[in-house]
């Protein structure tokens, strides 16, 4: 069975989360906003997710695509990717909707060279800029929780890239044999703490919702997340509508070939010159 770990969209294969009886399929987490994920995870983000993807390969690939130009990262978080990119001398702007994530990033050495924008990446308000590259790493694009927000993001990227600029998206490929309906699983157990993951999957609308429920002697901390996953073909269609064409698709940032067995993809969309 394929599960999503979860909050981050990290594909893991499990023997099976405990199925829950899903009495009602919900398409949203009530009260969820663009900042909910970041505000819920900022205090544990670096502990839980620093090694979740290949930082060096990502930075190498984005740096090469930028070829000396400026870069925009969507959902910059705590700067896991942006800080090493900036260390190479690349001019980096980062958008994030979460004040808590941005505060964690601002507290780090090197953050002072980044331009940080607190905004919803569906439309960060950067039209007229001339970035060489925009990118959304490791399923962050799926944090835009509905199709309209994702289409808006593509349009916003078309408006802030320089002519011929590109937008790179890294995401998981939804398994053709489907994903579990959701359930409950154990993420972590310590003598003074347990972290449970509760999720629901609405396959019709391609939405996964959930909570990491973090229980310790200090109390219970809710860490909500929500993801609208898309197939590569669906992303291609949305990109095309906004004026992009698919330039390359690899299985990862290292350039491994993409095929029908690939569980992840890095898709580079190039802005088409319409003059």
Note whether 266 and 61 are within 8 A (CB).
yes
Q: Which is nearer to ligand SAM, 27 or 272 (CB)?
A: 27
Q: How buried is residue 181: exposed, middle or buried, by Cβ count under 10 Å (0-12/13-18/19+)?
A: middle
Q: Which is nearer to ligand SAM, 18 or 205 (CB)?
A: 205
Q: How far is the CB of 96 from ligand SAM (least distance, A)?
A: 5
Q: How far is the CB of 116 from ligand SAM (least distance, A)?
A: 11
Q: How far is the CB of 150 from ligand SAM (least distance, A)?
A: 10
Q: How far is the CB of 204 from ligand SAM (least distance, A)?
A: 22
Q: How far is the CB of 168 from ligand SAM (least distance, A)?
A: 12
Q: How far is the CB of 197 from ligand SAM (least distance, A)?
A: 15
Q: Which is nearer to ligand SAM, 18 or 28 (CB)?
A: 28
Q: Which is nearer to ligand SAM, 62 or 101 (CB)?
A: 101
Q: How far is the CB of 171 from ligand SAM (least distance, A)?
A: 11
The maximal CA–CA distance of the chain, rounded, in angstroms, is 64
71-74 vs 10-13, strand pairing mode:
unpaired
Which residue number places its CB atom closest to ligand SAM?
38
Q: Which residues bind ligand SAM (CB under 6 A)?
A: 8, 34, 37-38, 75-77, 80-81, 95-98, 101, 120-122, 137-138, 140, 143-144
Other C-beta atoms lying within 10 Å of the C-beta of residue 49: 17
Q: Which is nearer to ligand SAM, 138 or 154 (CB)?
A: 138
Q: Which is nearer to ligand SAM, 181 or 221 (CB)?
A: 221
Note whether 178 and 203 are within 8 A (CB).
yes
Q: Which is nearer to ligand SAM, 70 or 104 (CB)?
A: 104
């Amino acid at each position: 069975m394929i599960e999503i770990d979860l909050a981050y969209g990290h594909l893991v294969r499990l023997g099976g989360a405990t199925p829950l009886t899903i009495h009602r399929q919900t398409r949203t987490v009530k009260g969820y906003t663009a900042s909910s994920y970041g505000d819920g995870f900022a205090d544990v983000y670096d502990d839980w997710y620093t090694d979740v993807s290949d930082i060096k390969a990502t930075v190498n690939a984005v740096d090469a695509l930028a070829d000396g130009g400026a870069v925009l990262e969507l959902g910059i978080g705590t700067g896991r990717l942006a800080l090493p990119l900036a260390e190479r001398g690349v001019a980096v702007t980062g958008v994030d909707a979460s004040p808590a994530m941005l505060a964690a990033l601002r507290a780090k050495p090197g953050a002072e060279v980044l331009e940080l924008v607190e905004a919803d990446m569906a439309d960060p308000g950067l039209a007229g800029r001339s970035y060489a590259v925009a990118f959304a790493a490791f399923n962050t694009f799926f944090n835009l929780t509905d199709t309209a927000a994702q289409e808006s993001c593509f349009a916003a990227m078309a408006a802030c890239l320089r002519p011929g600029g590109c937008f790179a998206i890294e995401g998981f490929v939804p398994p053709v044999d489907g994903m579990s309906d959701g359930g409950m699983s154990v993420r972590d157990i310590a003598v003074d703490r347990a972290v449970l993951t509760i999720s629901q999957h609405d396959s019709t609308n391609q939405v996964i919702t959930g909570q990491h429920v973090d229980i310790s002697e200090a109390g219970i901390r809710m860490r909500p997340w929500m993801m609208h996953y898309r197939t590569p073909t669906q992303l291609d269609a949305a990109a095309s509508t906004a004026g992009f064409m698919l330039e390359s698709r690899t299985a990862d940032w290292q350039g491994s070939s993409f095929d029908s067995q690939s569980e992840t993809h890095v898709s580079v969309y190039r802005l088409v010159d319409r003059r």
